[in-house]
């Protein structure tokens, strides 16, 4: 008598894992670096540890507070370190910058990572320095150099920026613009009142020449600062935003 043979049990095939979703483009107004960090589910502290920069610098970049850095070069360097630590490639950088993303090539190009860092850096810095490009005035390089030959360099000048209109956002934008011109912004705060009708530059005794240079760069009137003791310390009181 022949016994019934057990039927062979079929091994279920494993279901294919879903492909990782690509990072969506950030909403208007979002910080590109913050969007990339949150997409990777990283904290500010973890991102700072990977990039080798202080956590405050990561927050400054995400919030667009470029004026908090010691120099504009330090802000750009921190941007490169953070973007590299997040592993942002060229395609993701284009999406974060709001640019068209081309089809993925068959072979990867090692130079694309350098282009990605440049695209992210441009996206972050362009927001904070847009007012510089919008309000800059053309001048002859030779004539400007001749006028400023005897003046100390901008990075040797300390500038205090005060809110004189009640608009702290515009005050910070002006502070970022001043720092982008290599001046040392040592403090951003509130003026004694919000009744200033326009932005004004105040110079201490002995600082009229450096005050005149900054006043021309900002397109603002120049006034003496009563009781000033440091000839290399200027005060800018920011009035209402009247430009575009």
Q: Which domains does the chain have, with CATH numbers?
A: 32-128 (no CATH), 149-238 (3.30.70.2390)
Shortest CA distance to 163 belongs to which of 200, 138, 124, 217?
200
Q: Nearest CA to 219 among 195, 193, 200?
A: 200
Q: Say whether pTM exceeds 0.85.
A: no
Q: How far apart are CA 47 and CA 84, in angstroms?
A: 10
Q: Which residue has the higher pLDDT, 102 or 13?
A: 102
C-alpha torsion 111→35→20→90, nearest 10: -10
The per-residue pLDDT for 17 is: 47
Judged by average pLDDT, the poorest of 105-114, 146-155, 167-176, 206-215 is: 105-114
Residue in this structure with the two tokens 């992210």, named with its chain if needed: 120
| Confidence grade of residue 138 (pLDDT, cut at 50, 70, 90) | very low
Most confident of 27-31, 42-46, 97-101: 42-46
The stretch 221-237 carries a mean pLDDT of: 88
- Residue 202 to residue 211: CA distance in whole angstroms: 7
Indicate the angle between helix axes 55-63 and 44-51, nearest 10 degrees: 110
What is the pLDDT, as a whole number, of residue 19?
A: 42
Please give the mean pLDDT across all residues of the chain.
Answer: 79
Of the listed ranges 70-79, 135-144, 160-169, the one predicted with least confidence: 135-144
Task: Map residue 190 onto helix, strand or coil.
Answer: strand
pLDDT computed for residue 131 by the predictor:
47
């Amino acid at each position: 008598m022949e016994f019934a043979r057990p039927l062979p049990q079929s091994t279920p095939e494993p279901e294919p894992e879903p492909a990782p979703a690509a990072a969506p483009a950030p909403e208007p107004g979002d910080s590109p670096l913050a969007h990339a960090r949150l997409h990777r589910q990283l904290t500010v502290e973890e991102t700072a540890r990977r990039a080798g920069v202080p956590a405050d610098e990561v927050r400054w970049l995400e919030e667009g507070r470029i004026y908090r850095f010691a120099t504009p070069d330090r802000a750009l360097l921190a941007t490169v370190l953070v973007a590299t630590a997040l592993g942002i490639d060229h395609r993701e950088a284009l999406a974060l910058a709001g640019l068209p993303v081309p089809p993925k090539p068959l072979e990867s190009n090692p130079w694309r990572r350098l282009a990605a860092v440049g695209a992210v850096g441009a996206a972050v810095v362009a927001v904070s320095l847009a007012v510089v490009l919008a309000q800059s005035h053309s001048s002859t390089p030779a004539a400007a150099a001749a006028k400023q030959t005897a003046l100390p360099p901008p990075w040797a000048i300390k500038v205090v920026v005060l809110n004189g209109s009640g608009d702290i956002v515009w005050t910070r934008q002006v502070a970022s613009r001043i720092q982008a011109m290599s001046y040392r912004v040592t403090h951003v705060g509130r003026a004694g009142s919000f009744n200033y009708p326009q932005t004004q530059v105040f110079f201490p005794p002995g600082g009229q020449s450096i005050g005149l240079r900054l006043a021309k760069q900002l397109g603002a009137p120049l006034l003496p600062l009563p009781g000033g003791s440091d000839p290399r310390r200027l005060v800018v009181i920011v009035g209402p935003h009247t430009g575009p």
